[in-house]
Amino acid sequence: MRCGKMAAPPPLPAEAAGTWGGVRRRCQRLLYWVPVLFISSILCWSYYAYVTQLCLLTMTNIGEKVVCLVAYHIFFMLFVWSYWKTIFTLPMNPSKEFHLSYSDKESLEREPRGESQQEVLRRAAKDLPIYTRTMSGAIRYCDRCHLVKPDRCHHCSVCDKCILKMDHHCPWVNNCVGFSNYKFFLLFLAYSLLYCLFIAATDLQYFIKFWTNGLPDTQAKFHIMFLFFAAAMFSVSLSSLFGYHCWLVSKNKSTLEVFRAPIFRHRTDKNGFSLGFSKNLRQVFGDEKKYWLLPVFSSLGDGCSFPTCLVNQDPEQASTPGGLNSTSKNENHLFPAKPLRDSQSHLLTDTPSWPETTAKAEKDKVGMSNPALTMENET
């Protein structure tokens, strides 16, 4: 009796495949919450260890208890508030004006890749304030969301959508950090660092007593020891991360823009969006200082358009995105100026003080006159 080859199993019907795909996506979404649950469990344990075991059961001085409990709950409240806002603030997506119309989508699908598709995108983007390009000088387009990407907007593979001023996707908050919640993310880092430093500082003397056998042999000893280790460990990692993002704010950059500098029509410019330290800070935190330390939204602008510190070039002098002069003359199409919010516009009407501008002659020309306001035809 001959043994034949085992037949391949029949393919799953479309309904079963769709059901399995839905189950898999739901499982992935649940797994994405594991880091958040880990941070939340650490936070709950630290609350119990500090408030109950350290303050109420170990501290003997009433004044010290009151001061530590009041200060701790202030830091705890600000930490939880900013963390909550970072997690549950929905990332902002490009507005409908950046989405292709039905006719433009059809035209884009009909045209072969290359100059023909770029012509369709140029027509769709002619009324949009788009200053940046791809490395080849083409219009930035997302073929998954079917939209022309605003400046500083990127597609997140985890969220599967385009995010305005995307910085990164953070697994610890299970959310994209972008225009809508970047201020909350910064405050979350700041208050979590202060929270850990406060715990480590006030727990230090009792931690030392633990090693010198100055504490009674109770359950509190182990909570005090691990509380200090955890606070010190998180303080080190948080201080480096917070310092890095403070530097990003001072330069008006995102994490993605550090690894790939924005490309404007005339050249790549890593400091193209930097307006000077003060104005860079106000873009993230807003004009009203009373809201700076609170996790409430106060950032300037709409997330779709940003002022730049670039200056005009001779319109007759065409250039490539890499900054090399081109010998061909391009036909220029001016973008209609899109009005910014008053609070964003006056960033450019104040007395300019751009520390990144090196040539003295350029300082008198700083403003919204961005060379990327002109759309170059591809040759």
The residues carrying an active-site annotation are: 170
DSSP assignment of 79-103, as one string? Answer: HHHHHHHHHHSPPP---GGGBPPHH
Output 72-80 pairs: Cβ under 8 A, ≥24 positions apart: 72/198, 72/199, 72/202, 75/191, 75/194, 75/195, 75/198, 76/47, 76/195, 78/187, 78/191, 78/194, 78/295, 79/43, 79/188, 79/191, 79/192, 79/194, 79/195, 80/43
Read off the DSSP letter of residue 263.
E
Other beta carbons within 10 angstroms of residue 195's beta carbon come to 24
Residue found under tokens 């907007």: 153
What one-character DSSP code corresponds to residue 52?
I
Which residues partner with 142 through β-bridges?
147
Distance CA 216, CA 210 (A): 9
Q: Residue 12 gets which letter from DSSP?
A: P
| Unique residue bearing structure tokens 């012509």 | 119
Going by DSSP bridges, is the β-strand pair 263-264/132-133 parallel, antiparallel, or unpaired? antiparallel
Yes or no: say if 299 and 179 are a contact pair by the CB < 8 Å rule. yes
